[in-house]
Amino acid sequence: MELYEYSASELSGMLSKREISSVELTKSVLKRADDTEPKIDAYLRIDPEMSLKMAENADKLIASGEASSRLAGIPVGIKDNISTRGIPTTCASKMLENYVPVFNATVVDKLVSAGCVISGKLNMDEFAMGSSTETSYFKTTKNPFDLSCVPGGSSGGSAAAVSSGSAVVALGSDTGGSIRQPASLCGIVGLKPTYGSVSRYGLVAFASSLDQIGPFGRTVRDVALLQDEIQGRDPMDATSAQRSYTSLFDSIDGNIKGLKIGIPKEYFGKGIKPEVAKSVTDSVERLKSLGAEVMPISLPSTDYALSAYYIIACAEASSNLARFDGVKYGYRAKDCDGLIDMYEKTRSEGFGREVKRRIMLGTFVLSSGYFDAYYKKAKLLQKRIQREFADAFGSVDVIITPTSPSEAFKIGDRISDPLSMYAADICTVTVNIAGLPAVSVPCGYSSEGLPYGMQIIGRKFDEKTVLNTALAHENAFGGFRRPEL
């Protein structure tokens, strides 16, 4: 096996025993990126010189015994809406094409302090708005299992890189499913942590009450390793939770005897491909055979969640993206006739079609005369959805659903049909609305060999139970299967 093919947990052990060096590992990952990027287009930028210098520093830390993290020396890909000092952070938008931050996001500072190696910045849907990575201004990322299909979005570059081996693990962001849905479509593991458990400082905001940074990996243990490194209180983020965090990697063993699993009927009906539903129910049976108890539950407001999500998310996006006006930084239109003309031309030329669509929708639902009719009702529905989850978790430990209603779809099939594209998030948006943790794990494959994903949802700050359930399934199902590129 090549070094890039090993899991992060395996590589961690090899590095700590000095069986390999971080430089050797990083060269293997960079070589893999050289081989796969012409096909996949997962990265927006790779700086081999920077990565190898970080790897050399990691090797010194490990050799001196000063490396305190299991991830020391491991290459990590970073989604391009997470701020990296001295490295362009574009959000895959013309608006920020030449923006180079002067500060790191808190999660990046944590990874650098741990001795991790940044393998590069990863492609995404523009400003994290999309479910296919087709709205990127720069390129369209392809699915490693079928290059004619999308990898999901908005963190499609992160998922495709981990799946193809051009990153060992990666960071993404999840506003309505943007970690879990691409993880499902690319056959890997993706965790959306509890809101507030990972600092959002340095994450370019889409919808601040819903956004959450989280990890991708090829195994559940890899995701636990990366989550251990990035979680924790941050005084730079007012929404960061003040609580103690224990190691997830050390606390999961795959023992689920007595675990109570809830199966909500609303997630297995209209809109869910029958083959996907069967794959998930078969996986639940595997968990049942390992000692888990399974019971039906109901989350009756699910049918309205997608509408509520897009109202709330677009309203917040309308406010957050108002800062991109051509005055302070970013793209500025030329040949303008006054300030207002400069605003209009800059935003018209700098933003892509999907971003402009969501800004207009958000501005509309916040406008006088429509605020009560749309935004206020969406926020009331959010409270109802939160109560329904809380009631359900009074009798079950985790809730299991499909992650995506179908396998990966063809590039170009939905880009001109926004409603069809939005429907890809039907299984995931409720988790963000409720602020809960959820993980997607591979659970089956279509007749064409495209992956299906199963979503495991837990109580707030109970990532341990979520990942432990995922580990039990991974052990029974067999885990990640590498695509043939």
Tell me if residue 154 is catalytic: yes
Judged on CB neighbours under 10 Å (0-12, 13-18, 19+), 400 is buried
pLDDT digits (tens, 9 = 90+) for 410-438: 999 999 999 889 989 999 999 999 999 99
Separation between Cα atoms, residue 464 and residue 252, nearest integer Å: 7
Q: Please determine, for residue 329, whether its predicted confidence score (pLDDT) is greater than 90.
A: no
Give the mean pLDDT of 349-373. 95
Marked catalytic residue, from 7, 22, 69, 79: 79
pLDDT digits (tens, 9 = 90+) for 250-309: 999 999 999 999 999 999 988 999 999 999 999 999 999 999 999 999 999 999 999 999
Separation between Cα atoms, residue 291 and residue 66, nearest integer Å: 42
Separation between Cα atoms, residue 58 and residue 61, nearest integer Å: 5
Widest CA span of the chain, in angstroms?
A: 70
Angle, CA 232 vertex, CA 229 and CA 238 arms, to 5°:
135
Judged on CB neighbours under 10 Å (0-12, 13-18, 19+), 15 is buried
Instruction: Give a three-class secondary structure readout of the chain.
Output: CCHHHCCHHHHHHHHHCCCCCHHHHHHHHHHHHHHHHHHHCCEEECCHHHHHHHHHHHHHHHHHCCCCCCCCCCEEEEECCECECCECCCCCCHHHCCCCCCCCCHHHHHHHHCCCEEEEEECCCHHHCCCCCCCCCCCCCCECCECCECCCCCCHHHHHHHHHCCCCEEEEEECCCCCHHHHHHCCCEEEECCCCCECCCCECCCCCCCCEEEEEECCHHHHHHHHHHHECCCCCCCCCCCCCCCCHHHHCCCCCCCCEEEEEHHHCCCCCCHHHHHHHHHHHHHHHHCCCEEEEECCCCHHHHHHHHHHHHHHHHHHHHHHCCCCCCCCCCCCCCCHHHHHHHHHHHHCCHHHHHHHHHHHHHHCCCCHHHHHHHHHHHHHHHHHHHHHHCCCCCEEEEECCCCCCCECCCCCCCHHHHHHHHCCCHHHHHHCCCEEEEEEEECCCCCEEEEEEEECCCCHHHHHHHHHHHHHHHCCCCCCCC
Separation between Cα atoms, residue 171 and residue 192, nearest integer Å: 11
Marked catalytic residue, from 83, 136, 154, 197: 154
Q: Please determine, for residue 485, whether its predicted confidence score (pLDDT) is greater than 90.
A: no
pLDDT digits (tens, 9 = 90+) for 117-166: 999 999 999 999 999 999 999 999 999 999 999 999 999 999 999 999 99
CB-CB neighbours of 446 under 10 Å:
17
Separation between Cα atoms, residue 20 and residue 18, nearest integer Å: 5
Q: What are phi and psi of 347, to 5 degrees?
A: -75, -35
How high is the pLDDT of residue 419? 86
Share above pLDDT 70 across residues of the chain, in percent, rounded to a whole number: 100
Bond preceding residue 83 cis, omega within 30 of 0: no
How high is the pLDDT of residue 264? 98
Tell me if residue 17 is catalytic: no
Task: Rounding to the nearest 10 degrees, give the CA dihedral for residues 147, 153, 159, 161.
Answer: 60
Q: Please determine, for residue 452, whether its predicted confidence score (pLDDT) is greater than 90.
A: yes
How high is the pLDDT of residue 269? 87
Give me the domains of the chain, ranges plus CATH numbers.
1-485 (3.90.1300.10)
Marked catalytic residue, from 7, 155, 166, 178: 178
What angle in degrees, to the nearest 10, is found between the helix axes of 353-366 and 302-320? Answer: 100
| Average pLDDT over the chain, rounded to an integer | 97
Separation between Cα atoms, residue 380 and residue 193, nearest integer Å: 23
Nearest to 331 by CA among 355, 320, 347, 344: 347
pLDDT digits (tens, 9 = 90+) for 35-77: 999 999 999 999 999 999 999 999 999 999 999 899 999 999 9
Residues 6+ away with beta carbon under 8 Å from 65: none
How high is the pLDDT of residue 20? 98
Burial pattern 326-353, b for ≥16 Cβ within 10 A else e, equals: beeebbbbeeeeeeeebbebbbeebbbe
Q: Please determine, for residue 367, whether its predicted confidence score (pLDDT) is greater than 90.
A: yes
Separation between Cα atoms, residue 43 and residue 148, nearest integer Å: 18
Q: What are phi and psi of 155, to 5 degrees?
A: -85, 40
> What pairs with residue 146 in β-bridges?
143
> How many Å separate Cα 21 from the centre of its chain?
29
Q: Please determine, for residue 463, whether its predicted confidence score (pLDDT) is greater than 90.
A: yes
How high is the pLDDT of residue 185? 98
Tell me if residue 348 is catalytic: no
Separation between Cα atoms, residue 169 and residue 216, nearest integer Å: 6
How high is the pLDDT of residue 85? 98
Are 330 and 91 in contact by the 8 Å Cβ rule? The answer is no
How high is the pLDDT of residue 68? 87
**How many residues appear in the chain?**
485
Separation between Cα atoms, residue 470 and residue 454, nearest integer Å: 9
